[in-house]
Structure 1
Amino acid sequence: MNAIGKILPVDGYEVVMDEQPSIDFNASLTHFYQPLIGIQAVSLYYTLFYEVDHTRQIQTHHTLMTYLNLSLDDIYRARIKLEAIGLLKTYKRREESRDYYTYRIQRPFSPDQFLREAMLSQLLLHHIGEQKYHALHTRYAKETYPYGEEVTADFNDVFDTVTPPKSAAGNHIEMEEQHMASDVMDFSWIEQSLRQRFIPVENVLHPANKKLIYQMKTLYDAESAEIEKALFWALDEDNQLNEEEFKSACHDMFVSRNNGQTIQLNDKMAASDVQPEVKKPSTKEEQLIHELETISPKQLLEDLSDGNRAPEQDIKVVREVMTKQGLPAPVMNVLIHYVLLQSNMKLSKAYMETIAGHWSRVGLKTAKEAMDFAKREQEKYKAAKNKPQKKNNYNNNYKKEVVPDWFNTRKKKSSKTAADTNVSEKEQQEIEAKLQKYLNES
């Protein structure tokens, strides 16, 4: 499973827990779980565990990145390991174009319970070696005493209700374990083999043994014939299954089948992250997309600066936008390239944040998706810009209707004043002419 882009820094999360772990759960996580799932997964478990009562507010995954000092891909891998080992359950919902996760913390097995789980204990044995395993077993395993035959009263033997329950609590747990094993594995072929050898089926295929057989088949990826062979090898003279001999037989067959290699947990996510051989890009656009998919934003800025060192301010802007909006590096590269082309090679923070918010809501993951989306948006913009504008058809009557009455009144008064002014000027000219004539005659 590829971990890249599975979660974003802006995705929210909350942590809940149904029941408190046992008092020695720290020993379980450190000595039993950590060798199997690694320190990063255990650190994530502790971080989520102590956030249960800290706050019930929705937080972003950027908080986890800060606490753990891990990339989002590493956090996702750690989360998947916790889920697979039974320490975490994850629920996802989508609201307002954002993903929200609920992490339900699961109580780890106590050391004694862990050692009683056949598959987990076998894995631990092969990871840490026999010497360390036996030291842990001696320290934490509880001794079992021969109590004798259980004669505990059943619920139905003591109480009576209107609708009697089908079974008591203890029997219900056994039925659940039996159903769990039978639902995922078909035991009919073992039953048939037992009957052919006249071995009582109920002596061998009771719920505890079914669970053990299923776990060993899963752990060692064993074929049905191998499980059957190991099962009959481990039956004693009373047709009882010896658990340790059955485990050893399954392990020996696994080693023999794999040329002496012992069993180890393989990280499928890490293996799937190795990208297959990619076809060499042929066109210029494919070459650009390939470059934007593989290069870092910092390197892109330096390349666009003719190999000079990228300005610290530009790097800071890119880092803030990328962190807040949770854009993958390839999409961020396309955004940088697009903004520089649109802004005359200037890295405008406000412009970049606006586009980044849009792209984040759309959910772009790859450089090709970002480039195609940017092209479509640009074409929409050009089409809207070139669309002929609708002319406003205002007629003269409309103009006349909107002219207020007070304007016409004022216009009439102004005309009258102007007429009065013209008469005064004419009289003034006549007076000046008479005065000039008088001066000349004198």
Structure 2
Amino acid sequence: MRFIGQVLPVDGYFVTLKHHLTKNYSKSLTHLYQPLIGIQAVMLYQTLLHEIELEEEISPQTHHTLMNYLNIPLDEIYKARLKLEGIGLLKTFKKTKENTTIFTYELQGAFAPSDFFRDAMLSQLLYHQIGDQKYNMLKNHFVKTYSENVGEDITVSFHDVFQTFTPTLEVVKPIRSEEESPPVQTADFSWLIQMLTQRMIPVGRVLTAYNRKLISQMQLLYDLDSYEIEKSVLWALTEENYLNTEEFKTACHDLFKSKHHDSKIKLTEKVEKNQALPKSKPVTKEDMLIHELETISPKQLLEDLSGGNQASEQDMKIIREVMTSQGLPSPVMNVLIHYVLLQSNMKLSKAYLEKIASHWSRANIKTAKEAMEFAKKEKERFQKTPQKQQQRTSYKRKDSKEIVPDWFKERKVKQTKTVQSTQPVIDLEKEKAELEKLLNQKVQHNNRF
């Protein structure tokens, strides 16, 4: 991702605060957000927060002011801003007026510590970032748990108190309002609904508003496919068909570890897939092919090469096993699939894939362009090797310039004549006649019996 040039020192900015801050917001920033986004992002948030009282309504501040306050380059400020936006602490608006760019930074309220631990994604990220010992210490400190010996829960529900003729709203106790934190809809709930219905499991009991948000967050966090989410949901269902959220999160994490060989979950900056591509549009056919292989998925590539037919489950299983075992990026895997299909008459051989994939993995190939260039060089090298061997052999035979004495040549000629004279002279016509005679005798013998 490009950082330089996105913001200029002369660009102005205003700061606004969306909501009132919670009482313990500074503790949340220090102990809960800072391990995830870093000290520069937290310092930028606090600097913008305390500038609200100082800024004037008419003239904006310039980003040069922030560079002086934080004593860091502008590209680092831009990186910190993106982290605040990604974690949900900042919204940025941009407008251009009279050749002047003005940004409006709208600060969002940080979670209170107790609410932070109720958010499934943030709490899981913090758990993987600081470890279970520190995480449990912070959770026990900030989240107050009541004693279990408090008696029977006799709290009435909404429907026990109120009556309505058109009950269309489901009462849910949200962590944030919909305006502050719009739900992330990434999971395929239509598939889950169909799966639960087929198994006669109450859909409304499992896919509550909170559980839908949790499922979407876990799918995004662990990069799970729909069938893996289905497996995790079934694993975490209780006997009463309620979703045990802790078991569901554990199941998602176990699936991630099995897919990625115990890799650790850690919040890092996102690297764009097309970062290695040239900025200019592809011109040649090869550039267009590289661009295509960088952007599509292996499944889509298989379907394109098979005339739009759906990729078989066996082929996808082979590709998945090779990708996970060798750690090849998707663009490199696309080049490998394309290369193997061309070399093996459109057959996807697992052994051939694994052999080349292990070679490319050791060569540390990361992009489609690198993979194509590497494949070309290897093919040229294998084609030239037999030719060089043949040239070296013929060179030794034809271009030999040894000085041979005359007496050696005469002796060699005599030996050749002697060998020719001693060899028996074969009469081909006579041999042919005898062979025909033997064949006729054998045919007559067989007819006799």
Normalised TM-score (structure 1): 0.56
Specify which structure has the bigger relative contact order, considering alpha-carbon pairs within 8 angstroms and separated by 6 or more residues.
1
Equivalent in 91, 94, 97 of residue 95 of structure 1: 97
Counterpart code for 1:84? G
Corresponding residue for 1:151? Answer: 156
Moved more, 166-175 or 240-249: 166-175
Counterpart code for 2:5? G
Q: In the TM superposition, what whole-angstrom CA distance separates every residue of 1:181-207 from its partner, at most 9, and x where no partner exists? A: 485443010111111111111110111
1:28 is aligned to 2:28: yes
Corresponding residue for 1:122? Answer: 124
Moved more, 179-188 or 230-239: 179-188
Give the distance between the partners of 1:134 and 1:83, measured in 2 at CA. Answer: 27
Structure 1 residues 167 and 27, CA, compared in 2 at 3 Å: closer, same or farther? Answer: same
Corresponding residue for 1:231? Answer: 233
Structure 1 residues 81 and 203, CA, compared in 2 at 3 Å: closer, same or farther? Answer: same
Aligned residue runs from structure 1 range 282-431, under 5 A: none
Corresponding residue for 1:107? Answer: 109
Counterpart code for 1:27? K
**Equivalent position SS for 1:121:** helix
Q: In the TM superposition, what whole-angstrom CA distance separates every residue of 1:283-338 from its partner, at most 9, and x where no partner exists? A: xxxxxxxxxxxxxxxxxxxxxxxxxxxxxxxxxxxxxxxxxxxxxxxxxxxxxxxx
Structure 1 residues 83 and 173, CA, compared in 2 at 3 Å: closer, same or farther? Answer: closer
Counterpart code for 1:23? K
Counterpart code for 1:12? G
Corresponding residue for 2:194? Answer: 192
**Equivalent position SS for 2:261:** coil
Structure 1 residues 182 and 46, CA, compared in 2 at 3 Å: closer, same or farther? Answer: closer
Count of equivalent residues:
274
Mark the runs of 5 or more structure 1 residues left unpaired by the alignment: 280-442
Corresponding residue for 1:367? Answer: none
Give the distance between the partners of 2:5 and 2:236, measured in 1 at CA. Answer: 48
CA contact (8 A) 1:2 1:272 kept: no
Counterpart code for 2:124? Q
**Equivalent position SS for 1:41:** helix
Give the distance between the partners of 2:54 and 2:182, measured in 1 at CA. Answer: 35
Counterpart code for 1:2? R
CA contact (8 A) 2:120 2:217 kept: yes
Aligned residue runs from structure 1 range 18-57, under 5 A: 18-56=18-56, 57=59
Give the distance between the partners of 2:178 and 2:76, measured in 1 at CA. Answer: 35
Corresponding residue for 1:85? Answer: 87
Structure 1 residues 273 and 33, CA, compared in 2 at 3 Å: closer, same or farther? Answer: farther
**Equivalent position SS for 2:105:** strand
Counterpart code for 1:262? K
TM-fit CA distance, 1:148: 3.2
Give the distance between the partners of 2:248 and 2:167, measured in 1 at CA. Answer: 36
CA contact (8 A) 2:11 2:62 kept: yes
**Equivalent position SS for 1:50:** helix
1:249 is aligned to 2:254: no
TM-fit CA distance, 1:142: 2.7
Higher radius of gyration, 1 or 2: 1
Give the distance between the partners of 2:16 and 2:279, measured in 1 at CA. Answer: 42
Corresponding residue for 2:9? Answer: 9
TM-fit CA distance, 1:272: 8.0
CA RMSD of aligned residues (A): 3.4
Mark the runs of 5 or more structure 2 residues left unpaired by the alignment: 281-449
Give the distance between the partners of 2:176 and 2:90, measured in 1 at CA. Answer: 23
Give the distance between the partners of 2:261 and 2:229, measured in 1 at CA. Answer: 19
Give the distance between the partners of 1:273 and 1:238, measured in 2 at CA. Answer: 47
CA contact (8 A) 2:187 2:215 kept: no
Structure 1 residues 169 and 202, CA, compared in 2 at 3 Å: closer, same or farther? Answer: closer
Aligned residue runs from structure 1 range 262-273, under 5 A: 262-268=264-270
Corresponding residue for 2:216? Answer: 214
CA contact (8 A) 1:235 1:242 kept: yes
TM-fit CA distance, 1:274: 7.5
Give the distance between the partners of 1:93 and 1:226, measured in 2 at CA. Answer: 43
Give the distance between the partners of 2:67 and 2:176, measured in 1 at CA. Answer: 42
TM-fit CA distance, 1:266: 2.0
**Equivalent position SS for 2:123:** helix
Counterpart code for 2:37? I
Give the distance between the partners of 2:189 and 2:276, measured in 1 at CA. Answer: 39
